[in-house]
C-alpha cells in the first residue's frame, strides 16, 4: 500500500488566534509574507470577514486558519510558493457557495483558504463557435449578464444554486444544470491549472503554441488530463474554456405531476425512453412533494406543533390544498420551433397517462396565466406561476435563486427578502447525491431504502431525481434542519451518516460529497483510491493543495 | 525536469533471432515461461505468423520481438509478472488494425506485442439502458452482429475502418464514427485496467462493490481517471462499458457536393450552424475529390503515365466523368420519423445553394435508384450507389470496409476481391489528423498550407474534414503511396514529416498520431508532457507497458 502523503503539519490548532509553537510561527511568518504580497485587505486572519468564511450550512465544519484573496494567477503562484516554504497548505475555493456540501470550509483544520473570487475575468466569448474562457471567480449571473448585455445569441447552462455561484467551481464538482448542456463536465474545453510547485499546466491542445483548436476540441493529443482536476486536490484551476449553446429560438417547460407516490416508477421509465431517443435533450428534474411544499414557505408549525416530520395526513392535506402530486417532473424543451414542436408531441404522447397531469408552458402562456392569477379565482396559482417562471429562466440559462427557498424550510423565520445566501442566513442543510440506473425498479428500491431512515430520524424527506445522463438518475437528498437547534443538528448528521452508509452498502455511492464525507469514499482496500493517492503524491508530494479533499486516506488520518 | 523512466533495456536488438547477450537471455527466459503459461500456440517468436504482425502500412516500423496472445485477464496479469521479472516490456494491441498509424507494430524496437484479440467476450448488453460491456478483442462487426442476431433495438457507432477492427482499441485512440454517438470517447462508461504491477483498477463507480450505476454514469466520485488510459501507456484496458444508442426508426443520408474548391468555406459555416443548433446530430464527413476518385478505383496510370499527382486538367476531367464535386459532405439523419423530417427540412434550407448539389437518400430511394442503375441510362450510377449504400450502413451502425478502398490507390493491382486488410495487402498509407475550428477561414488557411506540400512531394491530396465536435473539424490527411517502391515510400515519409512540422508550427496539432511521431508531440519544454511523464513514473516506474507510446521523451531517447 503506498504511503504517498507526508504530513506537513498537525491539525490540533483550529484557528489562527489559538495557534502556538512551530506551526503558529510558520503561519505567522506566512501571513506576513502574504500580506506583503497581496495587501492587508486581501489577507483575512481574524475578525468578522474571516468569521463569515467559517460559517457553514453543515452541522459542523473545520475552520479556515486564514483566507487569502489573490487577484491574479501570478499572485496565486507566489502565494503558493510562500505556502510551500512555510509548510502551510492552501484550500482553494472559487466563490465558496458549495452549500450543503461544506460551503467555503476546508476538509480539515489547519488549512488556509484561497478565495479565487477576485479572479473573475471573462477572457473571451466566441459567438460563432459558442464558447467562453473564464476565470474561477466568474459567476453564473455574471456570464449570463455579459451575454445579454452584449446581445450575443448564446446561452449558458444554469444550475438552481443562484446567480452568485461560480461556474468553474460547480463544473469542477461536476454539477449539472437544466439545459441540453446540463452535464457540465462535458462542456469543459481546456483547463489552465496551477500545480503545487507553481508550474502552469494547460490541458487539451492548450499547451501547444498558438493552438487553434484548444477551445473547440477538448481532448488534445495524448492522455486526457481534465478529469484529474475535477473532484480532486491535484491542482488549482485558474482558467477554463467552457462551451456555450446557441440561444434557442423557442423555449418551453413541461411539468408533469404524478398523483400517487408509486407512480414515480412508470414516469421514470417513460422519461428514459424520451431521453435516450433524443426527444428530451435537457436534464429533467423530478421533485417529491416536500420539494413542492418547501417552495411555498417554511415548515407549517401552526398545523404541526410537534415539528417534523409532517404526518401522512397533513401531507395529503397540503397536497390537495396546493394542488401538487406526490412527484413533479419538469424540464426544458428548447431549439427551433420545429424541433420543439416534435419534442412537445413526443412528450405528450409518452407522459399523458391516468394519474398524471401534464402542462407545457412558454412565456406567452405564463403571461396569460399571470393575468388570470390576479383574479380571485386564480389566487392559489401565484406561487406556482413563480415556480414556472423560475423554471423557464433556468432552462434558458438565466440563473435564479428561486429553488433555494426549500433549504429555508426549518430556518426560524423562513426565507428573508432579498438574495438567498443559505450560509450567512443560518440555514441548516446536508445534501447527499447518490446515483442509480434510470429504471422504475431502481427508484422503487431506492425510495424503500431511504424513507424509513428519514422517518427514524424525524426528518421530512426531500428528494429530487435528476436525469443527469440518458441512462442515470442523480438523486439529491436534502436533510434540512434547524441550525439554531443543536439537538436537531446532531440528529441531522446522524440521519445523513446512516443514509450514506446504507446507500454505499446498496451499491449507490454519491456522485459528489460534502467535506464531512471524504473519508467514507474509500470502503477498504481499493485500487482506485490508491491510484488517486499515487497521482497526488506525484503532483503534490508535500500535500500543499487542499489536503483531504477527495483524498479518503488523508481525510481519515486527520479525523 | 523529472526523469521518470528507467531504461529497462537497450533497443539495439531488432528481432528475437538476432538477440544476444543479456537481453537475448532474458527474452529467451521470458519466452520459456510465457510458453508454459499460454501454450506454444499463443507465443509467436518466429515464423510467418510473427512476420504478419510485423507488416505495416507505414514506410518503416519497429518489429515486435515476439507476440503473446493471452486468453484472459488473469493470463495477461501473469504474463505481465513474467515480463517484469525478465525486464521485457509489453506492447498491448487489441486487434492490430491501426492502419496508417502503425498497425500492430510497437513504437520502438525491443518490445513484445501482446495481442488481446482472444479476449473477445461480449460480457453484457442491456437493451433498456443501452450499453454493452466488452473485452478488447471484440470487433465492430461482432457487436453489430450480436445485436442483430439477438433482435435488440440498439445500434453501435461504426467507423469506416471495417468490421474486423476492435471497438476498445479505437475508442482508446479516441476515434470517431458516423452516428450521434460518433465522439466515441464520450461513450465510455467504466474501464477495467490492468496496471504494470498487476493491480486491477476499475474506473467510475466500478470499484465500489455491487455499484448499480457503473455502466450508466461514467464519472463515479472523485477524480475521473478514464481519460488517462486513452492515448497513453499507463495501463492495459481489459474491459469497457460502452454506451449504445437505441435503434432509430428512420435513417437517411444526406449528400451535399460542392462544385468549386473554394466552396468548402461556406459549406463548413452552414454545417456548423446545423451541428450547433442540434439539427445535425451525427458526425458529418466531408471528402475532397481525391477521396471520391479513389473510391472508384486505383490511380489511372493509363491516363497519367508519369504517375501522381494527377494534373489539374485530369482532375477536372475525372470530376466531370464521375459527376463529383470538389468536395462531398455526407452524414446521417436518424431518429423518429418526426425528428428526421425536421432535420431534413433544416438541412435542405441550409445547404441548398448555387454551386452545390444536395441529395437525401434512404433505403427505399436507394432500391429504386438501383433498379434505374441497371438500365443503360443509369450505368455510371452504380459505383455511386454502392457508396450511398455503404454510407447508409455506417450511419446505422453496420460496419463496412467500403471506404477503405481509397488506401489501395497506389497499390499495384488495386484492391483485391474480398475483405480489405491494407496491412497484409501491402498498401502504403500514412494518416495525419490535425484539428481546426469549424470555420470557413480556418479551412481555407488549412488547405492553402497543405496543398503545396503535397504538390512539392508529388502526391495526390487526399483529405476528409470531419465534424468531430459541434465546433471542431478533424481532418484526416492520407498520404497514399506505393509500398513496393522504396523511393516513393521515402518520399511519402518526407511529405508526412513536412506536413506534421508545418501543421504544428501553425497551431494545428493532430488529435492522434502514428507510432513514428510520438517524439514530435513534445515541442520543447512542456508542462503537459512532464506531467504525463510523472503520472507514468507513478503508475509504471519500470516502463513495462508500451514504452514510448504517447510518451515523447522516451520515444525521442530511443530513436
A418 touches chain B (CB under 8 A): no
Measure the CA–CA gap between B304 and B295, rounded to whole angstroms. 18
- Mutant choice from A224, A273, A518 vs B, greatest count of B C-beta within 10 A: A224
**Cell numbers for B229:** 488510459
User: Nearest to residue A549, comparing CAs of A225, A106, A11?
Assistant: A106
Cβ atoms of A256 and A351 closer than 8 Å: yes
pLDDT score for A62: 97
DSSP strand E in B276-351: where?
285-288, 327-335
Q: What percent of chain B has pLDDT over 70?
A: 95
Among the partner-chain residues A209, A474, A538, the one whose CB lies closest to the CB of B535 is: A538
Please check the confidence at residue A131 and state whether its pLDDT lies above 80. Answer: yes
A106-143 as b/e: b if 16+ CB within 10 A: bbbbbbbbbbbbbbbebeebbebbbbbbbbbbbbbbbb
What is the predicted pLDDT for the residue at B29?
A: 96
Looking at A200-214, A467-481, B195-209, B363-377, which range is the least confident one?
B363-377
**Taking the mean position of all CA atoms in its chain, how far away is CA B191?**
20
Hey, are the CB atoms on A471 and B277 less than 8 Å from each other? no
**pLDDT in the model for residue A11:** 36
Task: Provide, rounded to the nearest whole percent, the portion of chain A with pLDDT above 70.
Answer: 95
In chain A, which residues have their Cβ closer than 8 Å to the Cβ of B130? 276, 470-471
In which element (H, E) is residue A324 found? none
Give me the pLDDT at residue B19, please. 44
Nearest-CB residue to A527 (from B200, B341, B472): B200
Place of cell 495557534: A19
Q: Above 70 in pLDDT, residue A8?
A: no
Least confident of A276-290, A356-370, A377-391, B301-315: A377-391
* Residue A27 buriedness (CB in 10 A; 0-12 / 13-18 / 19+): buried
Sign of CA dihedral A416, A421, A422, A424: negative
The verdict on B218 touching A (C-beta cutoff 8 Å) is: yes
- Helix %, strand %, coil % for chain B, to 5? 40, 20, 45
Closest in A129, A278, A468 to B335, CB measured? A278
Asked if B525 is an interface residue toward chain A (Cβ–Cβ < 8 A), one would say no
The answer to whether the beta carbons of residues A25 and A85 sit under 8 Å apart is no
Cβ neighbours of A184 in B, within 8 Å? none
What is the pLDDT at residue B384?
A: 87
pLDDT digits (tens, 9 = 90+) for B426-467: 999 999 999 999 999 999 999 999 999 999 999 999 999 999
Residues in chain B: 559
Chain B segment 233-262 residues within 8 A of A by beta carbon are 234, 243, 245-246, 248
Q: H or E element: which one contains B539? A: helix B527-539
**Are A219 and B523 a contacting pair at CB < 8 A?**
no
CA pair distance B112, A237, nearest whole angstrom:
40
Q: Lowest-pLDDT range, A438-447, B217-226, B419-428?
A: B419-428
- Across A513-548, b (16+ Cβ under 10 Å) vs e yields bbbbbbbbbbeeebebbbbbbbbbbbbbebbbbbbb
Q: What is the ipTM of this complex?
A: 0.95
Residues A529, B222: C-beta atoms closer than 8 Å: yes
| Cα–Cα dist B406/B424, whole Å | 16
- Which of B124, B129, B222 best probes binding to A when mutated, by most A CB atoms within 10 angstroms? B222
DSSP assignment of A488-525 equals: HHHHHHHHHHHHHHHHHHTT--BSS--GGGGGGG--SS
Determine the pLDDT at residue A559. Answer: 58
Is B451 an 8 Å CB contact of chain A? Answer: no
Which of A174, A224, A527 lies nearest to residue B219, judging by beta carbons?
A174
pLDDT at A21: 55
- Contact check, Cβ <8 Å, B346/A335: no
pLDDT given at position A335: 97
Out of A186, A223, A506, name the one closest to residue B550 (CB): A223
Residue B254 burial class via C-beta count within 10 angstroms: exposed 0-12, middle 13-18, buried 19 and up: buried
Nearest CA distance, A391 vs chain B (angstrom): 21
Taking an 8 Å cut-off on Cβ atoms, the answer to whether B217 and A471 are in contact is: yes
Q: Report the C-alpha gap between A309 and A23 in whole angstroms.
A: 46
Which of the four pLDDT bands, split at 50, 70 and 90, describes residue B13? very low
Cell triple for residue A254?
413541461
Beta-sheet strands, E only, within A408-521: 428-432, 435-437, 462-466, 472-481
- Who among A208, A227, A510 is closest to B507 (CB)? A208
DSSP codes joined into one string, B393-447: HHHTT---SGGGGGGGTTSTT-PPSSS--TTTTT-EEEEE-BEEESSHHHHHHHH
More confident residue, A10 or A483: A483
Strand partners, B434: B510
Quote the strand ranges of A50-171, DSSP E.
Answer: 66-68, 90-93, 112-115, 122-126, 131-134, 154-155
Helix (H) or strand (E) holding B123: strand B122-126
pLDDT at residue B21, rounded to an integer: 54
Nearest to B555 by CA among B118, B107, B34: B107
Write out chain A residues lying below 8 Å of B508, CB-based: 211-213
**Cα dist from A468 to A99, A426, B558, whole Å:** 20, 30, 46
Model confidence at B524, pLDDT cuts 50, 70, 90, reads: confident
The burial class, CB within 10 Å (0-12 / 13-18 / 19+), for A354 is: exposed
Could you give the C-alpha distances from B35 to A175, B18, B22, B82, B85, in angstroms and in order? 50, 20, 20, 11, 15
Alpha-carbon A285 to chain mean position: 14
Instruction: Tell me the pLDDT of chain A averaged across its residues.
Output: 93
Question: Any chain B CB within 8 A of the CB of A186?
Answer: yes
Strands A200-202 and A188-194: antiparallel
Residue A378, Cβ neighbours under 10 Å: how many? Answer: 15
Nearest CA in chain B to A550: B222
Q: Do residue B511 and residue A221 have CB atoms under 8 angstroms apart?
A: yes
Give the chain B residue whose CA is nearest to the CA of A230: B223
Rounded Cα–Cα distance for residues B331 and B254 (Å): 6
Tell me the chain B residues in contact with residue A272 when contact means C-beta distances shorter than 8 Å.
Answer: 128-129
Residue B530, chain A, CB below 8 Å: the answer is yes
- The mean pLDDT value for A382-397 works out to 92
Q: Which residues of B touch A470 (CB under 8 A)?
A: 130, 243
What sign does the CA torsion over A486, A492, A494, A497 have?
Answer: negative
pLDDT, tens digit (0-9, with 9 covering 90-100), for A49-104: 999 999 999 999 999 999 999 999 999 999 999 999 999 999 999 999 999 999 99
CA distance to partner chain B, nearest, from residue A335 (Å)? 7
Share of chain B above pLDDT 90, in %: 89
pLDDT confidence bin for A378, thresholds 50/70/90: confident
- Of B152, B105, B109, B116, the residue nearest B23 (C-alpha): B109
Q: Which phi and psi (to 5°) does residue A466 adopt?
A: -120, 135
- Are the Cβ atoms of B535 and A537 closer than 8 angstroms? no
Cis bond upstream, residue A428 (ω within 30): no
Nearest residue of chain B to residue A507 (CA atoms)? B211
> Do B205 and A472 touch, CB atoms closer than 8 A?
no
- B3 lies within 8 A of chain A by CB: no
pLDDT greater than 50 at residue A500: yes
β-sheet with B200-202: strand ranges across? B122-126, B131-134, B236-243, B188-194, B200-202
Segment 289-308 of chain B within 8 Å of chain A by CB:
none
A129 close contact with B: CB closer than 8 A = yes
Would you place residue B559 in the very low, low, confident or very high pLDDT band (cuts 50, 70, 90)? low
Residues of chain B neighbouring A511 (CB-CB closer than 8 A): 217, 219-221
Put simply, whether A444 touches B (Cβ < 8 Å) is no
* 8 A C-beta contact, residue B521 and residue B552: yes
* The predicted structure's pLDDT at residue A5: 37
- Is the model's pLDDT at A15 over the cut of 50? no
Mean pLDDT, chain B, rounded, equals 93
Nearest CB partner across the interface for B531, out of A180, A201, A248: A201
Tell me the CA end-to-end span of chain B in Å, nearest whole number.
20
Inform me whether the pLDDT recorded for B57 exceeds 70.
yes
H-helix or E-strand containing B481?
A: strand B472-481
pLDDT digits (tens, 9 = 90+) for B480-516: 999 999 999 999 999 999 999 999 999 999 999 999 9
Amino acid at each position: 500500500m503506498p504511503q504517498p502523503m507526508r504530513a506537513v503539519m498537525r491539525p490540533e490548532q483550529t484557528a489562527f488566534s489559538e495557534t502556538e509553537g512551530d506551526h503558529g510561527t510558520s503561519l505567522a511568518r506566512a501571513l506576513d509574507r502574504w500580506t506583503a504580497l497581496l495587501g492587508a485587505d486581501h489577507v483575512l486572519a481574524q475578525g468578522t470577514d474571516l468569521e463569515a468564511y467559517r460559517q457553514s450550512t453543515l452541522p459542523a465544519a473545520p475552520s479556515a486558519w486564514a483566507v487569502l484573496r489573490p487577484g491574479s494567477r501570478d499572485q496565486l503562484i507566489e502565494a503558493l510558493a510562500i505556502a510551500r516554504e512555510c509548510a502551510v497548505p492552501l484550500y482553494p475555493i472559487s466563490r465558496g457557495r458549495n452549500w450543503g456540501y461544506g460551503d467555503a470550509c476546508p476538509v480539515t483544520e489547519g488549512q488556509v483558504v484561497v478565495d479565487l473570487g477576485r479572479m473573475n475575468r471573462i477572457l473571451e466569448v466566441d459567438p460563432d463557435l459558442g464558447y467562453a474562457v473564464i476565470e474561477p471567480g466568474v459567476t453564473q449571473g455574471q456570464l449570463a449578464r455579459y451575454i445579454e448585455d452584449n446581445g450575443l445569441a448564446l446561452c449558458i447552462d444554469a444550475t438552481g444554486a443562484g446567480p452568485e455561484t461560480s461556474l468553474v467551481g460547480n463544473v469542477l464538482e461536476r454539477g449539472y444544470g437544466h439545459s441540453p448542456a446540463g452535464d457540465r463536465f462535458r462542456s469543459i474545453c481546456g483547463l489552465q491549472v496551477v500545480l503545487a510547485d507553481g508550474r502552469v499546466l494547460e490541458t487539451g491542445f492548450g499547451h501547444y503554441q498558438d493552438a487553434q483548436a484548444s477551445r473547440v476540441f477538448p481532448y488534445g493529443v495524448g492522455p486526457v488530463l481534465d478529469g484529474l482536476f475535477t473532484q480532486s486536490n491535484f491542482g488549482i484551476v485558474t482558467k477554463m474554456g467552457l462551451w456555450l449553446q446557441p440561444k434557442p429560438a423557442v423555449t418551453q417547460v413541461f411539468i408533469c405531476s404524478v398523483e400517487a407516490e408509486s407512480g414515480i416508477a412508470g414516469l421514470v421509465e417513460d422519461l428514459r425512453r424520451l431521453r435516450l431517443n433524443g426527444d428530451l435533450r435537457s436534464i429533467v428534474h423530478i421533485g417529491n412533494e416536500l420539494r413542492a411544499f418547501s417552495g411555498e414557505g417554511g415548515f407549517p408549525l401552526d398545523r404541526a406543533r410537534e415539528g417534523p416530520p409532517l404526518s401522512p395526513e397533513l401531507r395529503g392535506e397540503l397536497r390537495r390544498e396546493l394542488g401538487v402530486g406526490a412527484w413533479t417532473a419538469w424540464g426544458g424543451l428548447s431549439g427551433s420551433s420545429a424541433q420543439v414542436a416534435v419534442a412537445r408531441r413526443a412528450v405528450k404522447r409518452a407522459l399523458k397517462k391516468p394519474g398524471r397531469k401534464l402542462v407545457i408552458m412558454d412565456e406567452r402562456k405564463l403571461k396569460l396565466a399571470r393575468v388570470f392569477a390576479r383574479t380571485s379565482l386564480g389566487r392559489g396559482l401565484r406561487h406556482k406561476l413563480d415556480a414556472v417562471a423560475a423554471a423557464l429562466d433556468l432552462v434558458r440559462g438565466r440563473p435564479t435563486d428561486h429553488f433555494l427557498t426549500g433549504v429555508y424550510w426549518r430556518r426560524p423565520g423562513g426565507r428573508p427578502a432579498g438574495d438567498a445566501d443559505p450560509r450567512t442566513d443560518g440555514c441548516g442543510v446536508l445534501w447527499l447525491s447518490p446515483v442509480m440506473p434510470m429504471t422504475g425498479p431502481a427508484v422503487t428500491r431506492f425510495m424503500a431504502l431511504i424513507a424509513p431512515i428519514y422517518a427514524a430520524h424525524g426528518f421530512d424527506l426531500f428528494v429530487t431525481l435528476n436525469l443527469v445522463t440518458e441512462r442515470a438518475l442523480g438523486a439529491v437528498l436534502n436533510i434540512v434542519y434547524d441550525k439554531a437547534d443543536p439537538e436537531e443538528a446532531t440528529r441531522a448528521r446522524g440521519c445523513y451518516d446512516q443514509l450514506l452508509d446504507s446507500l454505499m452498502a446498496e451499491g449507490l455511492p454519491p456522485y459528489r460529497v460534502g467535506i464531512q464525507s471524504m473519508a467514507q469514499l474509500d470502503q477498504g482496500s481499493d485500487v482506485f483510491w490508491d491510484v488517486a493517492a499515487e497521482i497526488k503524491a506525484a503532483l503534490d508530494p508535500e500535500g500543499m493543495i487542499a489536503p483531504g479533499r477527495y483524498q479518503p486516506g488523508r481525510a481519515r488520518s486527520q479525523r
